[in-house]
Structures are given as structure tokens and as C-alpha cells.
Amino acid sequence: MSAQQPKFETQTQVDFVVIGAGAAGGIIAKELSTAGFQVVVLEQGPYLKEKDFDHDEIKHFWQAALINDWKKQPNSFRKTPKAKATVQPAVMYGRMVGGGTAHFTANYWRFHEIDFVERSKLGTISGTGFDDWPITYAELEPYYTKAEWELGISGQPGPFDPPRSKPYPLPPLPIKSAGALLANGARKLGWHPQPAPMAILSQPYRGRSACSHCGFCEGYGCEIKAKSSTLATVIPEAEKTGRCEIRSGSYVRKIETDNAGRVTGVIYFDEKKTEIFQRAKAVVLCANGAETARLLLISKSNLFPNGLANSSGVVGKYLMFNGGGFATGVFEHELNEFKSVAVTRIIHDFYDSDPKRGFYGGGGLDARFDVYPIGYALGALPRETPRWGADYKKALKQYYTRSMFTFGHTTSLPVERNSISLDPEAKDSWGLPAMRVTYKDHPDDLKIMKFFSDRGMELLDAAGATKRWAGPVEESTFGVHLLGTCRMGNDPKRSVVNKYHRAHDLANLFICDGSSFVTSGRGQPTCTIQALAYRASDHIIRMAKNGEIKSA
């Protein structure tokens, strides 16, 4: 806890409890507390600071240092609703103050105008919930700009970018070898490379240091605050108000309601697994697109027998993961891609869905080498490479410094059966029902992954790779981007929250994170999650000040 943090009594009815201190929750906590409201933020993970971060690959990638721990919080997975779910890791998210923004790659793409109106432009897609958003790009644009300037984003607009009211606050990060090869190859093919927008500082900004290019970025916390996480940016500002208390180690088990159907507060376990009830006038749920749905389903009562905010039956449904099309290239000379940030150049030539392809889907392409030495040695070499002995060592030495990947970030269609639900048998370490994930990619999702894998192979060839191979296109069994499970909409029978993120069923419950998405965008959701959080905050503040939020 910082020196500025208040300590609210649990029986004090605070103005807002925010559940989750990640991409959306951190912003909403800052906006509400700055506007004069009392805010308690409940975060299940620890409150780590820059001094706590290190470069231990085993700890970060095999021991769940910054993410959910499947030993304590098991998932189960099945491909269809009729199949028996098997206990296995199925989703990953940031579990700490700052959430996924503390360790993400930091790609920071705005959605394009088409993302919000694709159904109107392309028509329906059979077997899906493909739909327009209840808001437009123009309505969200001021909040994209606010996010970029408050958090600190480095970039430069490209030829396919949507309109913007203000330039990026910081110039692009220096180009790396993979970025230069991507740009050269793309130009030979007639494509249009552009600097990657990144939530990493290219220059000092608002008292924070510029990136030192240490190379331990994706998967790690930043020791010098150059990554523009909510941990490094808005959460300290929220604490400075003296009206925001961050309670880390708080594992929420239920959002409580009264007989009139109003939210009264939140029941959670503290670090000693003692059950505590925090009273609140209103609750803002920002626990990510998987845990948000799970918590609503767990919070059922006699008044809400199918889970909270779920009169539509839509809570947990239309889960979207985003897809990926991969290819690997090896070059004659050393690239040394282990240095600096993961991505410096991207391609958006294939962003829009093109009916001429014969299927729905679009995306963006980047070049990177985001694998660390142990992970590379265990699984990233070509299949024909020996796995032991002198030839294995020779291959490691040759490939590690000369390789790069192309990564196509692609659409996922909203399919009703793809969902978060409660496992009837598995429990977490707190005795609550484990998360059950049901997911099977729509055939068009697999086709767009293959399309981008093929474009990656073309790009590597044009860039001069001496050896290249495509990654397999397989059905998803694991998700990192957790989208769509409490979708926005104007119709209470087909959506969970309205265009202001207010639950249709409860006047003092708001939901804002990846769960609010109607469609998936093109594989980089954080920028839009945070723009939505700024927009939701404005409307929650307006409603609170106008007396439109009736508490218990």
C-alpha cells in the first residue's frame, strides 16, 4: 500500500468497488477517484513494484510469476457442449496489480472504423452472432486519443489507419532487424509497412524513463517503468487522490445483491482466505473476459438463478480468442533479435475482410522473435533438427541469432457455443467452481490463419530468408485474448451491457473489459479495452453525479 492510500472500513459504503486492477480496472479507478469518488479496487494478484521484477525465464514462463496459476485455479476444456471437459490450462491472464498490461507485448493498435459496423457492411454469417457494435469508431476516437496521451504510446500513423484527432505523443521506437527485413520484403511485394504503435516509451515521458532495450519485455515486468502499464501510469495517479484503496490478494467470490435487485457490495477472500464483505453503492467489474463471466455465473441467487446480469442467457457466450498465422525465417547474417522490444514494424494491407477470398476474416502482420533461450531450445527449432548432441548445439548457435517470426494477428467470429461456464466437478483452491472453457474455431477463423501464414512465407522469401517454414494451423485449445462474454448491445435479450457498460439487469452494476466486445477486431485488443474504459468512466461519472445510480 502506498502512503497516499486510504484504508476504508469494510462496513463503510464506498462509492465504487472496482474488481480487477488491469487494463480497464486501473483506468476506471483513476478516473472515478480523480472525479471525487471513494474507490476500493479488489485485485486477486499481488501488488508488485519495479524492484520486484527480474529476468528469470523459468519463474516467468514455467512458474506463473505474473499470471494465473492453474494449480490453484484449474481450467477445464472441451471443444463442444456435448463433450466431456478435461482439466487443462485453457486461458491465461495477468494476475497482479496492472494485470496483463504489466507483461504484455505492448502492441497498441486502434480498431478501424470497419470493426464497429462489419455486419452492416458484410451481412450476416450463418451460425454466428456476428453483429455491429452499439457505438461507432467516431464515438470512441476521443478516448483512443486520451489513452494514447495519458498512458504514453510511441508510434506513427500508417496508410490504412483510421482518422485521428491528435498525433501519437511519442515517436516510434527504433527499428530492429526484423522490422527492417519486414519493411524491405513488404515493399518488394507492394505492401505498406509502418512503424508499430507500442505502449512503450521511445523517449522520457511524464517522469518515466525511455526504453533501455534490455530485451526482457514480453512476459516480464518493466523495472524502469518504460512499459505503459496501468501499474506504472494511472494506478499511482489514482492513489495520489487519497480516495482510492488498492487491496491486492483479494479473491472475489460473489457480487452481492438485495431483494430489490440492487448490488450491495462484494464478498471476497483476503490473503488468509478470510471471507470479507465490502459495502458499495455500485460495482464496476473489470476482471477480464473469462473471470468476469465466471464471477457473474457464480453470483447467482434466488432472484438471479442463472447468474447475475444474465436474464438474456448471454453471460459467458460468444467467447473469442483471436487467431494467429505463423512462419519462421532464418537469415544468412545475425539479426540478434533478442534485444529490445518485440515488434517495430507492422503491415495492415490485409486488415479488412475481402469477400473475394471466399471467407470472412482479416488481420495484421508483424515480425518478431519473442522467445527466450530456454523456450527456444525446447521447442522452436525446425522439426528435422537433432534434439541432442553436437549437431543440436550447432543448430542452436546458428538459428537463435539469425531467426525471426512473422505473426499474423487474425479475427475470431463470435460463436454462441464458444463460452465460459462453471465446471460441475472441478473446484479452485477456494472451493469455487472452476472455469470451464468450450471452444472450437469457426472454419473461417482457420482459413484466415492459413491466409496469414501464407503471407508470412511470401514475406520471408521476399526478405531473403535462407530457410523458412510455416507453423501449423490448428484449432485453438488455449486463449490469451479473452473477448466477448458479456457483449455490449441495445437489445437486453441479446446482450449483457448497454452502450455505456451498464448491466441491462442491474442499475448499479457496470462491466468493462474484453468481455464487452461484440466482435474480435484484429488480434490486438488492449488499446480498445482501454479506450472503452475511459469512455465508460465518463458515463459512470455523469450518471453518478446526476443521481442516476440508485444504490441499496
For 137, list phi and psi in degrees, rounded to 5: -60, -40
Cα–Cα distance measured from residue 354 to residue 361, given in angstroms and rounded to the nearest whole number? 8
Coil, helix or strand at residue 177? helix
Task: Output the CA torsion sign for 434, 302, 482, 146.
Answer: negative
Q: Report mean pLDDT in 10-residue bins for the chain, 552 residues.
A: 78 96 98 98 97 95 94 97 97 97 97 98 96 98 98 97 98 98 98 98 98 96 97 98 98 97 97 97 98 98 97 98 96 96 98 97 97 92 89 94 97 98 98 98 98 98 97 95 98 98 98 98 96 98 94 80
For 116, list phi and psi in degrees, rounded to 5: -90, -10
Measuring CA to CA, how many Å separate 19 from each of 310, 353, 440?
Answer: 18, 36, 29
* pLDDT at residue 1, rounded to an integer: 54
Cα–Cα distance measured from residue 212 to residue 215, given in angstroms and rounded to the nearest whole number? 9
Q: With contact defined as beta carbons under 8 Å apart, do 87 and 76 qualify?
A: yes
Please identify which residue in the block is written with the cell numbers 492513489: 239
Beta-bridge mates of residue 409: 324, 364
Task: List for the chain the helix, strand, coil content (%; round to 5).
Answer: 25, 20, 55
Cα–Cα distance measured from residue 307 to residue 322, given in angstroms and rounded to the nearest whole number? 26
* pLDDT at residue 2, rounded to an integer: 58
- Residue 475's CB is within 10 A of a number of other CB atoms, namely 12
Give CA 36 to chain center in angstroms. Answer: 28
* pLDDT at residue 188, rounded to an integer: 98
